[in-house]
A and B are shown apart, each in its own frame.
Chain A
Amino acid sequence: MFEAIAFYLFSFLTIVMFWITVTTKHSLYALTALAAGMIFISAFFFILGADFMGVVQIIVYSGAVMALYAFGMMFFDTTRELKEKPTKTRLVPILGALAALLVVLMVIAPVVGENITAHYPIDVAIGNSQAIGMVLFTKYLVPFELAAVMLLVAMIGGIVLAGKMMDEDYSSLSEEQIDEKEGAVS
């Protein structure tokens, strides 16, 4: 019974939060609602018994991804409402609804077609994180390594792009030296 209550409570909250994210004109509301929605989604993982996935959902989406959005929003005034000029007001909602319908169909089709059984059912004897580790390092080893290589490429790319003047420390220079440098750059 508790699971049912929790499920309906969190699905309601999640939908409301993402609804606010999409419809609001205020970028700060959108940011907050999206972060809250991401946290509420982790509740579904906890209800399903996938504790590790739930925690990772909180860390990655609420902790890291949304923090990057927040940094991006530092560049404009978040206390003002955004003036949107929506073009094609009819096409966008229709396409959105169609896309949502398509996703639901894709997920529902195998469920309706045959009885789904878990390939790797939850083993009570071993912990949640151990189970994920076993699957990750046996069945999904190649995708896992590929993802690692891609992250490495992204990291090196980030360092190359951002690290052009990294070894210069403006706070240890004198005023004249800074002026000289600024003149040389511009």
Chain B
Amino acid sequence: METAYLIETVIKIVTILLVFSALAGIGTYFERKVLAFMQRRLGPMNVGPYGIAQVAADGIKLFTKEDIVPTNVVGPIFKIAPVITAATAFMAAAAIPFLPSFEIGGYVVNPIVSDINVGILYVLAVMAVGFYGPLLGGMASANKYALLSAARGAAVFISYEVITGLSLLAPLMMVGSFSLIDLNNFQIEGYWMVVYQPVAMVLFLIAGFAETGRTPFHLVANDHEIIDGFGTEYSGMRWGLFFIGEYANMFFYAFLISILFFGGFGDGSVLGAFALLGKVSFFFFFFLWTRAAWPDVRPDQLMWLCWKVLMPLAVINIVITGFVMMF
């Protein structure tokens, strides 16, 4: 039993790592294509048919590029910062059920690494630790623009963590469990959670853009100074790791929204599994869509939105949910 469990877990972890690292690469291709079509351009076209092999070309470029560590940086911290971003993104995936459980030759497989009973809290906590990547990267870079972007990014992450937590509180009160599988099963009998908690869904979605650092909340890049922000001094695969972390986070966030608010994989049939993948694809597309449609907001507008609009809304939502549940 012990050995079988160990082998199963290792296989699951390796699968998740490989699948989502690859998806992060393919995600960049989709992002460029979607943005191109929305802005009436062609996007990548030269490598392979419709530029589909662009992912491989980018990968080869990133892997073979010289790994430059500039003179004045704090070496060890500078080197470990991208690893933190990528590692925390994948560690968070340990408590996410990616598909309903299925059977291979009489052996039941649960496509979740560990169904701990504080699942959603664990995912959010580990995702939140991911802000150390940009923060330490920026602070170790010996570059004032990188430092500025790190400070701004950290402020955004910390502020919007509050929104994520508070917006989730109302749905969690209704379900009475932190486990993502329980949250999924709650929606089998009744309606989807978005019907009961539309406000929480909108808040969680907005906070998702801030947590993954996507446009319109892409403050980790210094757009007005035309500088890339905390990643300015990075090159090659270290920079690529930041990217993999960001895209993996986007996929995991899409999984979270689909499972929490849009029914997840339903009753666990094959149809439900495909429905979950469809919803995840839609939300990934939604991230790209928003990037094509909206400009970045100013940092002070972002803080105003967080503390003066979203947080009171989330608190009011919790109070109303509490009253409705009590009476």
Contact = CB atoms under 8 A, between A and B. Distances in A.
Contact of A63 (B74, B76, B129): B129
From A52, A70, A71, name the one whose CB has the most chain B CB atoms within 10 angstroms. A70
A60 to B, nearest CB: 9
A39 interface: yes
Interface in A39-77: 39, 51-52, 55, 58-59, 62-64, 67, 70-71, 73-74
Contacts of A39: 129
From B125, B136, B178, name the one whose CB has the most chain A CB atoms within 10 angstroms. B125
A71 B77 CA distance: 17
B300 interface: yes
A128 interface: yes
Interface string B104-132: 00000000000011100110111011011
Interface in B184-226: none
Nearest to A77: B142
Interface string B263-282: 00000000000000000000
A67 B158 contact: yes
Contacts of A62: 129, 132
B320 to A, nearest CB: 21
A38 B201 CA distance: 32
A67 B154 CA distance: 8
A73 to B, nearest CB: 7
A10 interface: no
B131 A67 contact: yes
Contacts of B135: 67, 70
Given A52-B121, A74-B147, A78-B139, A59 B128 contact: yes
Nearest to A53: B118
A87 interface: no
Contact of A55 (B73, B77, B122, B300): B122
A69 B126 CA distance: 19
A26 B300 CA distance: 32
B125 A63 contact: yes
B53 interface: no
A172 B221 CA distance: 23
B151 A127 contact: no
Contact of A51 (B118, B155, B158): B118
B125 A28 contact: no
Nearest to B142: A79
A85 to B, nearest CB: 22
B258 to A, nearest CB: 22
A68 B159 CA distance: 12
A18 interface: no
Interface residues of B, number: 34
A71 B76 contact: no
A49 B177 CA distance: 17
B74 A58 contact: no
Given A78-B140, A79-B72, A171-B300, A71 B118 contact: no
B118 A52 contact: yes
A65 to B, nearest CB: 11
Contacts of A52: 118, 121
From B74, B128, B142, B179, name the one whose CB has the most chain A CB atoms within 10 angstroms. B74
Contact of B151 (A29, A63, A64, A74): A74
Given A67-B158, A171-B300, A29 B77 contact: yes
A11 interface: no
B298 interface: yes
A70 B74 contact: no
Interface in B120-174: 121-122, 124-126, 128-129, 131-132, 135-136, 139-140, 142, 147, 151, 154-155, 158, 161
A28 B118 contact: no
A64 B157 CA distance: 11
B158 A59 contact: no
Interface of A: 26, 28-29, 31-32, 35, 39, 51-52, 55, 58-59, 62-64, 67, 70-71, 73-74, 78-79, 127-129, 169, 171
Given A26-B74, A39-B129, 6 more contacts: A28-B136, A59-B124, A62-B129, A64-B158, A74-B147, A171-B298
For the complex of A and B, list the 5 residue pairs with the smallest distance between their C-beta atoms, beginning with the closest: A58-B125, A127-B117, A59-B125, A63-B128, A51-B118
